[in-house]
């Protein structure tokens, strides 16, 4: 079942014997067999998909929201070996922390020649603006991560140091959650160490570090936005740890403080956990083209009015050239040998080392000292002679910008590939966090491992197709000593809602209702079209032509079916309204916008909600990819309406009645009321023959899910007075216009201040105007038919007036709660965001 590999293997010795700590796991996989293993693999993938775990791949048209891939076979370490790795990671973090403090402090390491100044000052991650700025206490490096691999000698080697904005801890937690659900017995029997203590230590450290509002600090996680490769993790961590997810546009600096723009006004921010690269954090002092950061953030840091983790300037510690000097610096600063050796590194800024690199360039990996998408690793062995000469000339022009590193043939580990277990090269990413309470560092007992999908490949980042693996530390966990400290009761934290998040929730509700109304109207239109008499020209069928024109008006896809030619041959336009996601107003477009807004506020939505969203996304994918015909269109509409209603029903059940809930429902009811008005105005404005009028009234009721209600309330044939009363005036009918307007007012009243709850705000005045018009309307006038035009003119006039007031209400809401989010902000992609 296991294939032999030409590299050192994690599971087996050179003699082919299973390592003791792998024995139980190997036996388990052997017993269950390939068929059962394939089922477990599928189950692991399903768990991650349902939980909405995604990863974005830059430059790939299919890369947005790509499902996260997890190997069902973990990376495994014994307790004994892990203790050595743990000590080495703590030592390395302490060493890097000391170097970081020195580089932005006295710089004695440079003055005394332990670190060449060219290596530091030519690195773009060394920010002169951060000189002499430090956090309270000894620990400046709060979060640290490193990529490790086992070399040919059996020892773990550090391949990369990650100090700027280490990523992957959220994916690690989801990997463990999925593996626990699928392999609970295997995890329990092998006493796999739990990883939750890492996250709790991090949270505790934040409260210890901040000098502002220490008892209840306002913590935000600064993300580049939904297009970032690891946005899922940003949303997940913020939700899991109770932090507010924010983008650069959500924050502003005033009076030296950083403020979060919320629907209730500005809220002071105490701590920023950044996932934005340091040079993008303040366009005023660093990259002026950045739209990801906050103007004036650096000045707020200087004035010690906000705490940023990791501190700006930490990226200089990711300089691979430093690895060449770490052993001597470790001996100098700590009086110890470096426990975890780095991959062998030669900095080209030294003549002797550059000569070595040139002599052995075909066996080395050449790297720029500043990591980024414009500076890819170059494998000398893959270059032609001409390319090698070109590379040497480039190094000679600025030798201090390059390093040569040994090409480590790191170990393999069992991976489930092509329905069987095969050996694949693997890299392990560790996570370390400052434990300020004990003035030490804590290592996560596990981490994020990745294996290559191809044999003998050493590029295993997720951007290059690497497969993630859970990491298990085996052995019984250490029993924690009981603490004598009293239990501290945490104060209730008031949940704040950023304006940008509020706006997304508002439009999430609007697109939900827009899509639902579009689906219902399309289903009736397709049904009528399929049942139409072939002997009668379609454009002469008053019911079908009215439905088609209503569809055009409601989706705002004019001219559409207002053109006679499209009425004669409607299939092309009908199908484009279902499938064409590039057509503004189409069903596919509305659902795509719905999903986009949901993705941007995923930290506010529950796990079960994400399962429904995943199902809607799959249905949309099927709609856009399937061969287009009317039968499939109708089936897609049936499936979609059920899933949309499931999303709404679930959120009624589990969303707390906070601003999140109210804004979503304000958007939903505004859209519902506007669509209701549009359908009444377009479907019932003109009188035709008796049978056509009855069909149109029945379709109008169906579109508003009120046909059954009408039949129970009015035990008579369909007639205009009863239909309009039910859909406009009945305040106990959730599909009636007056009910929808009252719901908007109820939610707006909850959002307002105490004064606005007692008095009427401008947006509520517009609603009151609309509600009053409806309540004072004369039903006999609405049902009065103009003798010449055969139109219900008063009905059309009232619907136009209500629609105008709804637009006015929406505009006031936008100006009041969302206008300062800066719609002109463009979320650009950082070229220097770390790869997982």
For 468-481, write each residue's pLDDT tens digit: 999 999 976 554 44
Asked if residue 66 is part of any domain, the answer here is yes
Q: What domain range is 745 assigned to? A: 656-820
From the list 470, 365, 458, the residue with the least C-alpha distance to 7 is 458
Asked if residue 385 is part of any domain, the answer here is no
Q: Binning pLDDT at 50, 70 and 90, where does residue 534 land?
A: low
CA 454 to the chain's CA centroid: 28
Check whether residue 462 and residue 609 sit in a common domain. Answer: no
| Number of domains observed in the structure of the chain | 3
Rounded alpha-carbon distances, angstroms, from residue 585 to 211, 245, 521, 590, 600: 51, 30, 13, 6, 21
Q: Binning pLDDT at 50, 70 and 90, where does residue 683 land?
A: very high
Of 52-61, 557-566, 748-757, which gets the smallest average pLDDT?
52-61
Check whether residue 521 and residue 642 sit in a common domain. Answer: yes
Structure confidence at residue 495 (pLDDT): 60
Structure confidence at residue 212 (pLDDT): 63
pLDDT digits (tens, 9 = 90+) for 121-157: 999 999 999 999 988 888 999 999 999 998 878 889 9
Contact 271, 219 (CB under 8 A): yes
Structure confidence at residue 1 (pLDDT): 42
The span from the CA of 799 to the CA of 697, in Å, is 16
Rounded average pLDDT over 727-734: 92
From the list 791, 536, 675, the residue with the least C-alpha distance to 545 is 536
Structure confidence at residue 820 (pLDDT): 57
Asked if residue 205 is part of any domain, the answer here is yes
Rounded average pLDDT over 742-762: 79
From the list 307, 468, 285, 461, the residue with the least C-alpha distance to 371 is 461
Q: Binning pLDDT at 50, 70 and 90, where does residue 627 land?
A: low
Check whether residue 70 and residue 167 sit in a common domain. Answer: yes
Rg (CA), the chain: 32
Contact 662, 817 (CB under 8 A): no
DSSP string, 113-151: TSS-HHHHHT-TT--GGGTT---SSS----EEEEEEEE-
Asked if residue 372 is part of any domain, the answer here is no
User: Per the structure block, which two tokens stand in for 400?
Assistant: 């201090």
Rounded alpha-carbon distances, angstroms, from residue 557 to 44, 563, 636, 810: 42, 12, 21, 21
Structure confidence at residue 93 (pLDDT): 96
Structure confidence at residue 487 (pLDDT): 40
pLDDT digits (tens, 9 = 90+) for 152-200: 788 899 999 999 989 899 999 999 999 999 999 999 999 999 999 999 9
Structure confidence at residue 458 (pLDDT): 55
Q: Is the pLDDT of residue 386 over 90?
A: yes
From the list 518, 531, 525, the residue with the least C-alpha distance to 623 is 518
Residue 420: beta bridge partners?
417
Rounded average pLDDT over 549-577: 88
> What percent of the chain lies above the pLDDT cut of 90?
53
Asked if residue 803 is part of any domain, the answer here is yes
Structure confidence at residue 373 (pLDDT): 65
Rounded average pLDDT over 311-340: 95
Q: Is the pLDDT of residue 371 over 70?
A: yes
Structure confidence at residue 204 (pLDDT): 87
> What percent of the chain lies above the pLDDT cut of 70?
89
Q: Is the pLDDT of residue 825 over 50?
A: no
Q: Is the pLDDT of residue 833 over 60?
A: no
pLDDT digits (tens, 9 = 90+) for 773-782: 999 999 999 9
Check whether residue 669 and residue 607 sit in a common domain. Answer: no
Q: Binning pLDDT at 50, 70 and 90, where does residue 425 land?
A: confident
From the list 763, 699, 692, 701, the residue with the least C-alpha distance to 728 is 701
Structure confidence at residue 3 (pLDDT): 41
For 109, phi then psi, to 5°, come to -65, -35
Rounded average pLDDT over 416-436: 90
Domain stop point among 655, 678, 700: 655
The span from the CA of 53 to the CA of 237, in Å, is 12
Burial 741-759, CB ≥16 within 10 A → b, else e: bebbbebbbebbeeebeee
Check whether residue 449 and residue 579 sit in a common domain. Answer: no
Asked if residue 390 is part of any domain, the answer here is no
567 vs 92, residue with greater confidence:
92
Q: Is the pLDDT of residue 460 over 80?
A: no
Domain stop point among 609, 631, 655: 655
Check whether residue 598 and residue 450 sit in a common domain. Answer: no
Check whether residue 693 and residue 794 sit in a common domain. Answer: yes
Check whether residue 527 and residue 458 sit in a common domain. Answer: no
pLDDT digits (tens, 9 = 90+) for 686-695: 999 999 999 9
Q: Tell me which long-range contacts 378-382 makes (C-beta under 8 A, separation of at least 24).
A: 379/407, 381/407
The strands making up 251-254's β-sheet, listed across from edge to edge, are 251-254, 257-262, 265-268
Contact 637, 519 (CB under 8 A): yes
Q: Is the pLDDT of residue 4 over 70?
A: no
Check whether residue 515 and residue 462 sit in a common domain. Answer: no
Asked if residue 396 is part of any domain, the answer here is no
The span from the CA of 318 to the CA of 119, in Å, is 12
Q: Binning pLDDT at 50, 70 and 90, where does residue 769 land?
A: very high
Contact 283, 290 (CB under 8 A): yes
Asked if residue 51 is part of any domain, the answer here is yes
DSSP string, 283-334: TTTS-TT-SSS-TTHHHHHHTTSSEEESPTTGGGGG-GGGGGTHHHHHHHHH
Domain stop point among 655, 685, 717: 655
Structure confidence at residue 195 (pLDDT): 93
Check whether residue 519 and residue 437 sit in a common domain. Answer: no
- 41 Cβ contact list (under 8 Å, min separation 6): 72, 416
3-state secondary structure at position 533: coil
Check whether residue 642 and residue 673 sit in a common domain. Answer: no
The span from the CA of 199 to the CA of 445, in Å, is 11
Structure confidence at residue 489 (pLDDT): 40
Rounded average pLDDT over 557-570: 86
Structure confidence at residue 827 (pLDDT): 35
Check whether residue 331 and residue 432 sit in a common domain. Answer: yes
The span from the CA of 522 to the CA of 588, in Å, is 12
Of 43-47, 120-124, 738-742, which gets the smallest average pLDDT?
43-47
Output the average pLDDT for the chain.
86
From the list 447, 456, 410, the residue with the least C-alpha distance to 428 is 447
Of 153-157, 244-248, 346-350, 757-761, which gets the smallest average pLDDT?
757-761
DSSP string, 656-692: -TTHHHHHHHHHHHHHHHHHHHHHHHHHSSB---HHH
Q: Is the pLDDT of residue 389 over 80?
A: yes
């Amino acid at each position: 079942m296991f294939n032999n590999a030409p590299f050192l293997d994690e599971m087996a010795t050179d003699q082919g014997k299973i390592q003791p700590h792998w024995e139980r796991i190997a036996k388990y996989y052997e017993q269950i067999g390939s068929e059962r293993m394939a089922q477990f693999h599928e189950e692991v993938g399903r768990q991650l998909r349902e939980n909405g775990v995604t990863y974005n791949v830059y430059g790939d048209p299919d890369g947005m929201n790509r499902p996260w891939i997890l190997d069902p076979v973990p990376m495994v370490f014994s307790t004994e070996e892990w203790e050595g790795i743990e000590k080495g990671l703590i030592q390395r973090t302490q060493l890097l922390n000391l170097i970081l403090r020195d580089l932005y402090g006295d710089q004695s390491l440079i003055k005394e020649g332990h670190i060449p100044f060219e290596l530091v000052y030519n690195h773009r991650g060394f920010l002169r603006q951060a000189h002499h700025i430090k956090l309270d206490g000894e620990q400046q490096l709060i979060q640290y991560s490193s990529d490790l691999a086992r070399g040919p000698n059996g020892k773990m080697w550090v391949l990369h140091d990650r100090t700027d904005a280490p990523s992957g801890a959220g994916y690690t937690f989801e990997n463990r959650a999925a593996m626990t659900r699928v392999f609970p017995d295997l995890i329990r029997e092998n006493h796999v160490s739990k990883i939750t203590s890492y996250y709790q230590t991090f949270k505790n450290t934040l409260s210890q570090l901040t000098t502002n509002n220490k008892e209840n600090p306002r913590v935000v996680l600064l993300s580049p936005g939904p297009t970032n490769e690891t946005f899922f993790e940003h949303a997940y961590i913020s939700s899991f740890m109770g932090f507010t997810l924010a983008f650069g546009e959500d924050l502003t600096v005033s009076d030296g403080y950083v403020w979060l723009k919320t629907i209730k006004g500005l809220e002071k921010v105490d701590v920023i956990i950044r996932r934005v690269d340091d040079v993008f954090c303040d366009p005023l002092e660093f990259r002026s083209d950045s739209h990801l950061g906050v103007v004036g953030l650096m000045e707020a840091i200087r004035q010690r009015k906000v705490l940023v983790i990791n501190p700006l300037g930490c990226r200089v510690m990711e300089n691979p050239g430093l690895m060449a000097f770490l052993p001597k610096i470790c001996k100098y600063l700590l009086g110890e040998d470096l426990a975890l050796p780095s991959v062998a590194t030669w900095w080209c800024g030294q003549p002797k080392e550059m000569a070595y690199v040139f002599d052995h360039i075909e066996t080395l990996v050449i790297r720029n000292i500043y990591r980024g998408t414009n500076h890819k690793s170059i494998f000398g062995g893959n270059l032609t002679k001409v390319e090698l000469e070109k590379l040497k000339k480039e190094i000679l022009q600025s030798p201090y910008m390059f390093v040569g590193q040994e090409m480590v043939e790191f170990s393999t580990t069992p991976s489930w590939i092509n329905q069987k277990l095969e050996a694949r090269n693997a890299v392990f990413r560790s996570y370390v966090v400052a434990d300020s309470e004990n003035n030490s560092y804590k290592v996560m007992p596990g981490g994020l491992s990745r294996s290559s999908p191809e044999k003998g490949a050493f590029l295993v980042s997720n951007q290059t197709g690497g497969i993630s693996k859970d990491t298990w530390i085996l052995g019984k966990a250490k029993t924690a000593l009981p603490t004598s400290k009293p239990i501290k009761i945490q104060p209730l934290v008031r949940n704040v809602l950023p304006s940008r998040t509020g706006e997304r929730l508002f439009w999430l509700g609007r697109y939900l209702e827009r899509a639902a109304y579009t689906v219902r109207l399309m289903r009736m239109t397709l049904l009528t079209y399929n049942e139409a008499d072939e002997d009668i020209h379609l454009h002469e069928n008053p019911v079908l032509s009215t439905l088609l024109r209503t569809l055009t008006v409601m989706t705002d896809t004019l001219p559409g079916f207002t053109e006679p030619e499209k009425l004669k041959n409607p299939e092309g336009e009908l199908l484009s309204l279902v499938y064409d996601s590039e057509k503004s107003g189409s069903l596919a477009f509305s659902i795509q916008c719905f999903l986009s807004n949901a993705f941007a506020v995923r930290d506010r939505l529950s796990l079960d909600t994400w399962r429904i969203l995943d199902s809607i996304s799959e249905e949309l994918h099927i709609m856009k990819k399937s061969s287009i015909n009317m039968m499939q269109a109708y089936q897609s509409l049936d499936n979609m309406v059920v899933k949309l209603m499931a999303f709404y029903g679930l959120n009624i059940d589990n969303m707390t009645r906070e601003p999140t809930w109210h804004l979503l429902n304000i958007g939903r009811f505004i859209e519902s009321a506007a669509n209701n008005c549009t359908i009444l105005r377009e479907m019932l404005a003109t009188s035709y023959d008796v049978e056509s009028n009855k069909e149109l009234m029945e379709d109008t009721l169906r579109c508003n899910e009120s046909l059954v209600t009408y039949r129970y309330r009015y035990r008579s044939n369909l007639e205009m007075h009863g239909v309009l009363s039910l859909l406009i005036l009945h305040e106990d009918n959730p599909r009636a216009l007056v009910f929808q307007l009252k719901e908007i007012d109820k939610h707006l009243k909850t959002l307002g201040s105490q004064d606005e709850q007692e008095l009427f705000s401008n947006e509520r005045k517009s609603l009151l105007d609309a509600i009053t018009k409806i309540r004072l309307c004369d039903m006999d006038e609405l049902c009065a038919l103009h003798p010449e035009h055969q139109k219900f003119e008063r009905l059309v006039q009232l619907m136009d007036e209500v629609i105008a007031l709804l637009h006015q209400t929406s505009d006031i809401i936008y100006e009041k709660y969302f206008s300062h989010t800066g719609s002109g902000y463009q979320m650009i992609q950082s070229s220097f965001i770390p790869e997982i």
